[in-house]
Structure 1
Amino acid sequence: MTITHENNSTIGLVELPQLKLSDPDDNDYYSLRKYEPIISKQVLISHLQAGGFKTKFINLRDGDYTENYGKKIWRGIELTKNYIGLQIESIDPESCEIWCITVNFTLYREIAMMLLKHLASTGKPVVVGGSDAFAEPQAYLRNGATVVVKDKSGAANWSLFNYLLGKGPKEALTGVVFADGTQYPKQKTPLDPEEWPLPSVELAKQCLGKQSFCYFSHIGNATERNYTQIGFD
């Protein structure tokens, strides 16, 4: 692993594109939620900014590009696997000094691996966190991740990114495992949610989304359609 000392100290935080599973009749087997709030990035970016880090948020959900990456037989039904949003290769791996991916669902592991390999292709460090990486860190470390974060409270973040940027000692590391097998057990008290910094208005607008939910309720002989709006108009 190379510790960086360059002037470009931007941390790029990338939201995965949306997964779509569909049968031959184009019936969707996984709800498209591309406009849902992105709470994990809102919390993480706010915390990094409070620590004085320069961040760049890239939302790969935000587009209509579709790419097929395989098929899967489920209960005798052939499902096509696509990701929808922005093309992974549209990101310049050299544009940030460190990259960060969050993967909470195993269903997204293949998409995450595609993104991981692309971001790591020029040698920039890639940090991976989230529930799936926490459960199976070696799957990500074998495929290009520099380090997997195993402390989901945020207590590991500042010391890790300072170290990767060449600004902090490895002795301060906590709750992370590196690709060479070196592990740093949790040494710090997990952060309480009340300690998480509030996001800026700009960041909140980027992360809250515009997901609309529609449901039907039957009242007598009439059917009422209801919409719930989350986010900004």
Structure 2
Amino acid sequence: MLYWLLKYIILGPLLRLIFRPQVEGLEHVPETGPVILASNHLSFSDSIFTPLIVKRKVTFIAKAEYFTGKGIKGWLTKMFFVGSGTIPVDRSGGRAARAALDTQLRVLRSGGIAGIYPEGTRSPDGRLYRGKTGVARLALESGAPVVPMAMLNSDEIQPTGQIIPNLGRVRIRFGAPLDFSRYAGMTGDRFVERAVTDEIMYELMELSGREYVDTYAQKAKAQPKQPVPA
């Protein structure tokens, strides 16, 4: 109920007025049935704009710590994630990846849309990084089509670390659904899962126009920043 109140009554109309979403290819998102929405990840606001422009409910997952913060800030953060349809998942310990996968499989098996960022974290510099194979396992186990979705300029609207977004027109582009039924029954084959993931990332590269880097974003974040030449 809170999701639909925020989307259509409280925040949705205001956000549409301020950011005037420019969307291409929304017709590629099926009106019914399970769908995996796979997006690049440029900004915290990606999880705001996606539910705003997709007519159906989109369910993302997030670490459980976002739902347990203290004070006013913690309460506001929790309300944002609850209102945006995000499901908390305990990502600590060795079974974290499986717990996340099972959560989104339940969404898909109920005929819903599961949103996922294959890179696993926000891009540290706007480039597109190597996808993790969780998106492939999700596609192979569920049999759901994967719709690639490119955030084109959300890092300009809300750069990493900036709380108040900049005023601007957010631009989003959807691609045609990807069907991986040819790999049915091959879940667990790491070569197949990597091939599926790379196909999805290639589509995101084409849609976004962003440079692709064949390393994980988390690894890139952990590396010390190089000094800018004078």
What is the TM-score when the length of structure 2 is the normalising length? 0.31
Bigger proportion of residues as strand: 1
Which is bigger in relative contact order (C-alpha 8 A, separation at least 6)?
2
TM-score, normalised by the number of residues in structure 1: 0.31
More helix by share: 2
